[in-house]
Structure 1
Amino acid sequence: MTEDVRRVAKLIEERNRIDAALSACIRRPATTGHLGDWIAARILGIALEPQANASIDGRLPDGRTVTIRWYPKRENILDLKEEGGPEVYLVLTGPKSDAGSSVGTARPLVIDAVYLFEAKDVMDDLRARGRKIGTASSVREELWAAAEIYPQPHSLLNEDQRELLALFSHRP
């Protein structure tokens, strides 16, 4: 047991060095949220808000307000803000996964797919089904399929953007 603790301590030390290097690049703490914001801004041309605690994350090149989410696994849930939220949600996800126990699994930071949801459409659907709007809102599979802009070809992404997103794709 002591060896396990020593190994975990060493790995956390290594992770802290990597997080510090990532933080130096993105100029914010190396959390999934900040990393996702930075990646989306750099690849998709999103103008981020100067303050990380703003009610929206930024604006798309077409001027629409956006909140960016990065979920290491896609479990068909989405954190939504009913009041004062964005016009669209840009969601980066890892592999599709059913909700269940996380025992014996890992959540690598990968981007296997990107989705662009119209906030009003998602919330209208949730209200029509009597579902809650907020943290971990359950979004129907059909809405995920309709919102996908990567890896499926989509007019919103050019080939360079697709290649850059592929750098973050799932690797076995």
Structure 2
Amino acid sequence: MTETLRQLAALLRARDELDAQIAALTRRSARIGDIGEFIAAQVFDIKLADTATQAGHDGAFRSGPLAGATVNVKTYGDAFAGIDISPHPCDFYLILSGPARPPGAVRHHRWRIGAAYLLDSRRLLDSLTARRVKIGVATSIRRGDLDVAQVFPTAGADAPIRLTPEQTALLSLFA
């Protein structure tokens, strides 16, 4: 048992060093949400809020068809487990998600972006309210809600934007 704890301590020190390098590169913490916001800002040309504790949204699109629209970026290992919906308004939710996790024992899941979804918050809230879904932390989302809003790796039928080949290539770095 003592050797296991020594190994764990050494691995955590190594992870801390990597997290410090990530934080130095992104100028944000190495938490999954902050990394996701950094990636989204680079890929989708989002001006992030000056503080990571901005209520309601993380920033606004600077260019393209959504220029000026506010966006709340969410990063999940699996968006199908539910998303956090803030009581503060924003125009869009941009969700970066890993692949759906298989049921079973807890094990390591490589961090990656398997899909990106861009949901119009007003349309989403109207749909959830009509279905009488409790809105807040871990709000239950139907696969259909995400499928129509998917922008990566392929675009859903009602996706609010289509990614450029460069945007697709950038997100593919994390796939």
**TM-score by structure 2 length?**
0.89
Q: Are 2:78 and 2:97, in contact at CA under 8 Å, matched by a contact in 1? A: yes
2:116 counterpart SS class: strand
CA contact under 8 A between 1:86 and 1:119: conserved in structure 2?
A: yes
Matched residue, 1:39: 39
For residues 38-67 of structure 1, what are the alpha-carbon distances to aligned partners after superposition, in whole Å with 9 as ceiling and x for unaligned? 000011111111111001100013111000
Q: Which residue of 1 aligns with 2:80?
A: 75
Within a 5 Å distance, the mapping from 1:40-55 to structure 2 comes to 40-55=40-55
The letter for the 2-side match of 1:119 is S
The alpha-carbon deviation at position 142 of structure 1 amounts to 0.8
Q: Which deviations, in whole Å up to 9, do the C-alpha atoms of 1:92-140 show, x marking residues without a partner?
A: 0000136x56x33223220010000011111111111111111000011
1:118 maps to: 120
Compared with structure 1, are the counterparts of its residues 142 and 76 closer, same or farther at alpha carbon in structure 2 (3 Å cutoff)? farther
**1:144 alignment counterpart:** 146
Q: Which runs of 4+ in 1 moved over 6 A?
A: none
Greater RCO between the two (CA within 8 Å, min separation 6)?
1
Give the conservation status (yes or no) of the 8 Å contact 1:66–1:90: yes
1:58 aligns to 2:59 (yes or no): yes
For the residues of structure 1 that align with 2:77 and 2:168, how far apart are their CA atoms?
19
**SS of the counterpart of 1:92?**
strand
1:168 pairs with 2:174: yes
**What is the CA–CA distance in structure 2 between the aligned matches of 1:10 and 1:97, rounded to whole Å?**
28
1:86 corresponds to which of 67, 87, 90: 90
The residue identity in structure 2 corresponding to 1:168 is F
Distance 1:163 1:23 in 2: 23
Alpha-carbon distance, 1:81 to partner:
1.2
Q: 3-state DSSP class of the match of 2:99?
A: coil
Tell me, in whole angstroms, the C-alpha distance in 1 between the residues paired with 2:93 and 2:81. 14
Q: Which residue identity lines up with residue 85 of structure 1 in the other structure?
A: P
TM-score by length of 1: 0.90
User: Would you say the 8 A contact 1:122–1:139 is kept in 2?
Assistant: no
How many residues are matched? 166
Residue from 156, 159, 162 that aligns with 1:156: 162
CA RMSD of aligned residues (A): 1.5
Rounded to whole Å, the distance in 2 between the matches of 1:73 and 1:107 is 10
Residue 68 of structure 1 aligns to a residue whose secondary structure is strand
Q: Which amino acid aligns with 1:58?
A: G
Matched-pair contact (CA < 8 Å) for 1:48–1:59: yes
Instruction: Kindly indicate whether residue 61 of structure 2 is the aligned counterpart of residue 28 of structure 1.
Output: no
Distance 1:74 1:8 in 2: 29
Gapped regions of structure 2 (runs ≥ 5) = none
DSSP-derived class of the 1:78 partner: coil
Structure 1: gaps of 5 or more residues:
none
